[in-house]
Chain A
């Protein structure tokens, strides 16, 4: 398994709370991603980063925000959690090297439930 970690693995929280989902990788990868996996298992890209101080929104609109201050760290924050945010969140990383097949390695996921 790849060296990419997510904490917490499970989180149950009340509406209106601020939460941060942590993602770290020790592979020195430049590119990092956040996917949202709905209960029907479909995955959608919500954020990605090409490197430090670079963040972009993905295909699926999300109220979450991300930051990339360090190469190895890509946290996702929800300022005010709502039940509609209940989902599994998967973090991934890849080398981002030009010309190479850019395989993404995934973390174990955080399963978020907002009551």
Chain B
């Protein structure tokens, strides 16, 4: 079974600084997808960024980028120029491409990100 591990229950960063959230996963598959989701307090879970395992290039979305190390099974999220609105729970997630699209996501336990003004 696939597992996703987020070893940082909570992280704190000063506004405008850079923070990196860690994620490792375990799988025997060669094709899969990795995601970072953000869940603000009492708000909807939204996708931050995604990475296809067959792509060597790291995904970026504005201030968000990932460091995908396939051999090490590591998938960290870097948030540059942190803003107060970035405060949320961040979940790393894994899914396998079953040909009919991904089945359910396997989530890590989440990292609570605090932004200090």
A contact set with B: CB distance below 8 Å = 1-2, 30-31, 33, 35, 40-45, 48, 50, 58-59, 90, 92, 94-109
Contacts known (A1-B46, A102-B95); A42 close to B109, Cβ less than 8 A = yes
Is the beta-carbon distance between A41 and B102 smaller than 8 angstroms? no
- Chain B interface residue bracket vs A: 20 to 34
Is the beta-carbon distance between B102 and A102 smaller than 8 angstroms? yes
Select the residue from B43, B102, B106, B110 with max chain A CB neighbours within 10 A. B102
Contact digits for B16-51, partner A, Cβ 8 Å, 1 yes 0 no: 000000000000000001010101000111110010
Is the beta-carbon distance between A33 and B104 smaller than 8 angstroms? yes
B contact set with A: CB distance below 8 Å = 1, 33, 35, 37, 39, 43-47, 50, 52, 89, 91, 95, 97, 99-107, 109-110
Q: CA of A111 to CA of B43 in the docked complex: distance in angstroms?
A: 12
Q: CA of A48 to CA of B99 in the docked complex: distance in angstroms?
A: 16
Is the beta-carbon distance between B45 and A98 smaller than 8 angstroms? no
Note all chain A residues with C-beta closer than 8 A to B106.
45, 59
Is the beta-carbon distance between B46 and A40 smaller than 8 angstroms? no
Is the beta-carbon distance between B105 and A31 smaller than 8 angstroms? no
Is the beta-carbon distance between B101 and A31 smaller than 8 angstroms? yes
Note all chain A residues with C-beta closer than 8 A to B46.
1, 106
Note all chain A residues with C-beta closer than 8 A to B37.
106
Select the residue from A1, A42, A99, A103 with max chain B CB neighbours within 10 A. A103
